[in-house]
Amino acid sequence: MANTDIPAAAGNSLAAVQPKRRAKNRPGESQHSRRRLEAVEQQVKALHYRKMGLTYAEIADRLGMGSPQAAWNAVESALKRTLQEPADVVRKLELGRLDAMFIPVYINACRGDLAALSAALNIMTRRARLLGLDAPLKTENRTDLNANSATGIMVVGGVMSPEDWAAAAKVQQEAITSGD
């Protein structure tokens, strides 16, 4: 177990009391540096302990971490890594397939083949969706109630033009008056 003694602060210096924060991603540091590999190993151990049912405080104690929050962060990082890596592999495989399909289709589309043009656009759409390039569509979910609500017509903004609203109100009003 790691030594977790807190050193005594020298004088009244606030800097002596504050823990030094290390940068998560050090510029120029290799992805396979000793520090990063040790961090990944600690995250894997933390995840293993969590699967065994240990609390975050117990995990922090066993791994010599400063707090249960540090143990939680380690478990979260390990979970993200285990889910992200297989997804990245599948994404690269799919992108390779789409790229291979796109080249001959694109050549035919440039020659004026309308079916190839449609296929090229479908491949481009799929590729953009896979890479998350398309912004989510904004949808407006609102209901406007106006004078037509007295006739029982609910007007939904953006669905009917004002002329259509008036025609629908007239048809409904005629149905109401002829039914009396």
Compute the mean pLDDT over every residue in the chain, rounded to the nearest whole number. Answer: 76
pLDDT digits (tens, 9 = 90+) for 122-140: 999 999 988 888 766 666 6
pLDDT at 162: 72
In angstroms, the CA 83 to CA 96 distance is 21
More confident residue, 72 or 137: 72
- Looking at residue 18, its pLDDT comes to 43
Q: Count CB-CB contacts under 10 A for residue 61.
A: 16
Q: Pick the more confident residue, 142 or 92.
A: 92
> 133 versus 115: which is more confidently predicted?
115
The whole-number pLDDT of residue 12 equals 42
| pTM of the predicted structure, to 2 decimals | 0.38
Average pLDDT (154-162) is 59
Q: What is the largest CA-CA distance in the chain?
A: 94
Helix (H) or strand (E) holding 57: helix 56-63
3 state SS of 108: helix
For residues 111-117, average pLDDT: 93
* Rounded Cα distance, 93 and 163, in Å: 52
Residue 106 has a pLDDT of 93
Give mean pLDDT, residues 102-116. 94
